[in-house]
Structures are given as C-alpha cells and as structure tokens.
C-alpha cells in the first residue's frame, strides 16, 4: 500500500477516488512508564518511555487506516495527515486519515 502526504503519487495516475479512510487509537500511560518518565524529566533528556509509546500508537493507527483502505480495494492513500487529542489527563488519541484511491498500472 502506497501511503503519501502529497495529493498525488509521483509517476502514477489516480483513476478513482474511493474516499476518506482513517485509523485511530486511544492509549493511556502505564503507571510504571509514567513513574520512569517522571524520573527522567527530573534529569532532562529524551523521555524514552513516551517516545516508544508514541511510536507504537502511530504505527497502530497507520495499520488501521491501511486496513480500511485495503478493505475498500485501494492501491494507495494520498493526502495523509496526523492529529492528536487529549481524551483525559492520562489518555490521548492518535488519528491518521487520508483519501483512498485506485491507481493506473505502472507503464
């Protein structure tokens, strides 16, 4: 599955627009990760616990969007965007969305 943030796939023609596809997940921080992150914030530097959580969350949301696009018979998702929102003080949503399309065969 081709996933791009641009409105076109370079070198490929879009033959059909299927429509909006999205994937999201809501995650909360694990108590032990929160404690470890709190200690790390005291000394400064990257908070590895949150970096890992964000990466896992982003990948899960992307996987869900791609699965929805495949279910609709898409070859690609264009115009991909990411958004986050706070659900509560301990939970956040990660959303990815774009437009599912079909592409002409490569020449």
Half-sphere exposure of 99 (CA within 13 A, CB side): 16
* Complete domains list, the chain, with CATH: 2-103 (3.30.110.70)
Neighbours of 55 (CB within 10 A): 10
* Number of residues written out for the chain: 107
Nearest CA-CA partner of 7 in 97, 89, 80: 80
Q: What is the mean pLDDT of residues 60-77?
A: 97
pLDDT of residue 72: 98
Q: What are phi and psi of 45, to 5 degrees?
A: 100, 180
Q: What is the mean pLDDT of residues 65-92?
A: 91
DSSP letter assigned to residue 7: S
Residue-wise pLDDT for 9-56, tens only, equals 999 999 999 999 999 998 776 555 555 556 556 666 677 777 888 888
């Amino acid at each position: 599955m081709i996933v791009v943030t641009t409105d076109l796939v370079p070198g490929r023609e879009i033959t059909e627009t299927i429509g909006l596809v999205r994937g999201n997940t809501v995650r909360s921080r694990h108590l032990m990760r929160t404690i470890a992150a709190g200690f790390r914030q005291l000394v400064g530097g990257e908070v590895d616990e949150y970096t890992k959580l964000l990466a896992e969350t982003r990948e899960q949301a992307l996987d869900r969007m791609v699965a929805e696009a495949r279910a609709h018979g898409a070859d690609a998702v264009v115009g991909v965007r990411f958004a986050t929102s706070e659900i509560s003080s301990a939970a956040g949503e990660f959303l990815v969305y774009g437009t599912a399309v079909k592409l002409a065969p490569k020449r």
